[in-house]
């Protein structure tokens, strides 16, 4: 029997990965908000570096009350923003058997969902992809696409293996990790400097940030603080990541982060998921992260300005 | 005999204080650049909270080669920017008897002038004034106006007393200090957070910066680092200044710093004078100032963007 899934969110990630999961063998229901009419009528077109494709989700709904089955999995592709109350959005759809997969950026974002649904398995997911929503039902996938998942807080589970297979049958690489918290710290090593700074500095790319030696050093300091924090948090990532990330980013084509795009389009920023939660963990663990904290504070102000 | 002085700069400060010095009894020559024609023909009008006034400098020149006397004092009212080579600008006018008064913001800005003119007395000056240049020869003086001066590096001198008298006879308060370096640190306690943050955050006022508790705390941290640095530098300022400044600024009318105005008008920023020199002193003295350093690095990037 096909796994029955609910995909929440028809932004770039939701639109792309829902198609992958359908291709991987799942019966899909896509929960849309503003895109509902267009997606229901016309499906989703993905202009992709791996080959363009088009699909219609098996079902398109506007609210989880319309869901026609108890889902085996709920995949969440929403941004983590204070005004998005994910628990309320999915509550009605969460059955006893449901596993919740959070394909979202940030640190410690599983905890509130685990607290709300203590008897459901929670899987964290991290997408490594350059992908933009051009319009309702129209996605531009420019590069990468692999995903990393792991049951929260730790361990390899059967459900994790099913999710991995769905993605891989759908055509993308999916790494299964037994420490998704470490995977989140690992991604934060890159995200913590480049995403916020690209917005704080008014919309700049990686080249701009790394060509000035003081700014390069600031990125390095922030990265080192994240590594230190991951150790204190008991999910240590390798310090080598710092120089690797810097070297790699300095040598890649100038890149605008997703937060840079959000900033330029005056969209709300994932301040807490990316930095605020990390700073709070640092405070709890009494780890000194002054650079990270300064960046967090400034990013929070940039977001305040966007929110007007 | 009237002291003969050269005033360098016809921006807001130069235009205002040259008038004060003339009123105080000096024979004044004002060195202008772009404003030369207008100021020479029409003089300077000051719309002032203390009463509007108009004056014509005794002489208006475009280059120091036109100066008709060996000045007793050269008063410098220019911004401290890397593209402004002050030594070259005034060199020809510096006589054996000349005292150079630098009414400029920042830390350690006297050293390069002292090095270039090792046998001349250097006086540092700090202006506490809200004043804008509206147009050539037109100044809007909104608030305050007192000045603090002191011979560099320390001490009270006869020349310092003469300068004090000129300002006071001209109608403003002038405090003579025996530790102008401490006075610079003291002013930096306020300047270091508010000037840079107002620009980094894209043009915001003091209210915006202080109404968010994290941003308030960041300002506090930066101020404390400046106090710590002043101690290490041997010119300690009182730690009480931190809370005093925060309290005062939180309770005053929302205020846009001069750097905020510079940012909004895409003018080059005094990055090194306000922060860069402080950070370099911290590095030399091995004092940890991570918040200050982060703000410095970001401000440097904002300035880079303005410079295109």
Q: At what angle do helices A290-307 and A213-232 cross, to 10 degrees?
A: 100
B200 and A295 within 8 Å at the Cβ level: the answer is no
The helix or strand, by DSSP H or E, that contains position B196, with its residue range, turns out to be helix B180-200
The helix or strand, by DSSP H or E, that contains position B151, with its residue range, turns out to be strand B138-151
Nearest 5 degrees, angle CA A145-CA A151-CA A153?
Answer: 120
Predicted local confidence at residue B81, as pLDDT: 97
Predicted local confidence at residue B272, as pLDDT: 98
**Please, which residues have CB within 8 angstroms of residue B39's CB and are 6 or more apart in sequence?**
B10, B15, B30, B32, B57, B60, B136, B137
Which one of A266, A278, A298, A308 makes the best mutation probe of the B interface by having the most chain B beta carbons within 10 Å? A298
Beta bridge mates, A130: A143
A218 and B297 within 8 Å at the Cβ level: the answer is yes
A202 and B300 within 8 Å at the Cβ level: the answer is no
Please enumerate residues of A whose Cβ is less than 8 A from a Cβ of B: 197, 200-202, 204, 208-209, 212, 214-215, 217-218, 221, 290-291, 293-298, 300-302, 304-305
In chain A, which residue's Cα lies nearest the Cα of B212?
A301
B294 and A297 within 8 Å at the Cβ level: the answer is no
> C-alpha distances in angstroms, B187 versus A273, B160, B183, B195, B230?
37, 19, 6, 11, 11
Nearest-Cα distance to chain A for B171, in Å, is: 41
A302 and B201 within 8 Å at the Cβ level: the answer is yes
Which one of A294, A296, A299, A308 makes the best mutation probe of the B interface by having the most chain B beta carbons within 10 Å? A294
Nearest-Cα distance to chain B for A201, in Å, is: 7
Please enumerate residues of B whose Cβ is less than 8 A from a Cβ of A: 197, 200-202, 204, 208-209, 212, 214-215, 217-218, 221, 290-291, 293-298, 300-302, 304-305
Of A214, A291, A302, the CB nearest to B290: A291
Predicted local confidence at residue A141, as pLDDT: 96
In chain A, which residue's Cα lies nearest the Cα of B299?
A201
Chain B residues touching A304 at Cβ < 8 A: 208, 212
Q: Are B78 and B53 in contact (CB under 8 A)?
A: no
Nearest 5 degrees, angle CA A99-CA A104-CA A107?
Answer: 100
A34 DSSP 8-state letter: T
Of B200, B291, B302, the CB nearest to A290: B291
Q: Are A157 and A180 in contact (CB under 8 A)?
A: no
Region for B86 from its dihedrals, namely left if φ exceeds 0, alpha if ψ lies in -120 to 50, beta otherwise: alpha
Predicted local confidence at residue A1, as pLDDT: 86
Nearest-Cα distance to chain B for A218, in Å, is: 7
How many residues are given for chain B? 308
Of B293, B296, B305, the CB nearest to A202: B305
B305 and A204 within 8 Å at the Cβ level: the answer is yes
Distance CA A86, CA B96 (A): 75
Chain A residues touching B296 at Cβ < 8 A: 214
The rounded mean pLDDT for chain B is 97
What average pLDDT does this structure show over B247-252? Answer: 95
Chain B residues touching A291 at Cβ < 8 A: 290, 294
Chain B residues touching A306 at Cβ < 8 A: none
Which one of A218, A225, A260 makes the best mutation probe of the B interface by having the most chain B beta carbons within 10 Å? A218
Nearest-Cα distance to chain A for B290, in Å, is: 6
Chain A residues touching B208 at Cβ < 8 A: 301, 304
Of A208, A291, A298, the CB nearest to B201: A298
In chain A, which residue's Cα lies nearest the Cα of B289?
A290
Predicted confidence (pLDDT) at residue B1 exceeds the cutoff of 90? no
Distance CA B72, CA B140 (A): 29
Q: Number of C-alpha atoms within 13 angstroms, CB side, residue B101?
A: 33
Provide the 3-class DSSP secondary structure of residue B103.
strand
Chain B residues touching A221 at Cβ < 8 A: 290, 294
Between chain A and chain B, the number of residue pairs with CB atoms below 8 A apart is: 73
Q: What is the pTM of this model?
A: 0.95
Predicted confidence (pLDDT) at residue B8 exceeds the cutoff of 90? yes
Of B200, B204, B215, the CB nearest to A200: B200
Which one of B199, B212, B218 makes the best mutation probe of the A interface by having the most chain A beta carbons within 10 Å? B218
Give the helix ranges, DSSP H, for chain A.
12-23, 36-42, 86-90, 111-116, 158-170, 180-200, 206-211, 213-232, 240-251, 258-264, 271, 277-285, 290-307
B208 and A301 within 8 Å at the Cβ level: the answer is yes
Domains and their CATH numbers in chain B: 4-178 (3.40.50.720), 182-307 (1.10.1040.10)
What average pLDDT does this structure show over B102-116? Answer: 97
Q: List pLDDT tens digits, range B188-209.
A: 999 999 999 999 999 999 999 9
Distance CA A2, CA A171 (A): 17
Beta bridge mates, A147: A127, A174
How many distinct helices (H) and strands (E) make up chain A? Answer: 13, 10
Q: Are A141 and A157 in contact (CB under 8 A)?
A: no
Chain A residues touching B204 at Cβ < 8 A: 301, 305
Q: List pLDDT tens digits, range B29-69.
A: 999 999 999 999 999 999 999 999 999 999 999 999 999 99
Nearest-Cα distance to chain B for A308, in Å, is: 11
Chain B residues touching A205 at Cβ < 8 A: none
Q: Are B254 and B205 in contact (CB under 8 A)?
A: yes
Of A294, A302, A305, the CB nearest to B295: A294
Of B218, B300, B304, the CB nearest to A294: B218
Average pLDDT by stretches of 10, chain A with 308 residues: 96 97 98 96 97 98 97 98 98 98 97 98 96 94 95 98 98 98 98 98 98 98 98 98 97 94 96 98 98 98 97
ipTM for the assembly:
0.93
């Amino acid at each position: 029997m096909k796994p029955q899934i609910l995909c929440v969110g028809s932004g770039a990630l939701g639109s792309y990965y829902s198609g992958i999961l359908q291709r991987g063998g799942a019966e899909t229901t896509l929960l849309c908000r503003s895109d509902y009419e267009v997606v229901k009528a016309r499906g989703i077109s993905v202009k992709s570096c791996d080959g363009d494709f088009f699909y219609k989700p098996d079902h398109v709904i506007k609210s989880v009350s319309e869901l026609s089955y108890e889902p085996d999995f709920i995949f969440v592709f929403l941004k983590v923003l204070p005004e998005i109350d994910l628990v309320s959005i999915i509550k009605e759809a969460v059955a006893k058997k449901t596993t919740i997969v959070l394909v979202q950026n940030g640190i410690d974002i599983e905890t509130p969902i685990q607290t709300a649904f203590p008897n459901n398995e929670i899987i964290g997911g991290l997408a490594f992809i350059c992908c933009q929503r051009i319009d309702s039902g129209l996605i531009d996938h420019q590069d990468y696409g692999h995903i990393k998942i792991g049951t929260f807080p730790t361990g390899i589970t059967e459900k994790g293996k099913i999710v991995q297979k769905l993605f891989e049958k759908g055509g993308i690489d999916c790494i299964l990790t037994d420490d998704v918290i470490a995977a989140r710290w690992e991604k934060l090593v890159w995200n913590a400097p480049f995403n916020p700074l690209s917005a704080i500095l008014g919309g700049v790319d990686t080249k701009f940030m790394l060509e000035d030696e003081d700014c390069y050093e600031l990125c390095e300091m922030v990265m080192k603080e994240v590594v230190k924090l991951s150790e204190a948090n008991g999910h240590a990532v390798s310090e080598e990541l710092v120089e690797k990330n810097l070297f790699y980013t300095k040598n890649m084509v100038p890149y605008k982060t997703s937060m840079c795009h959000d900033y330029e389009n005056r969209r709300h920023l994932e301040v807490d998921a990316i930095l605020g939660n990390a700073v709070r963990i640092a405070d709890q663990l009494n780890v000194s992260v002054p650079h990270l904290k300064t960046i967090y504070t400034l990013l929070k102000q940039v977001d305040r300005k966007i929110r007007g």
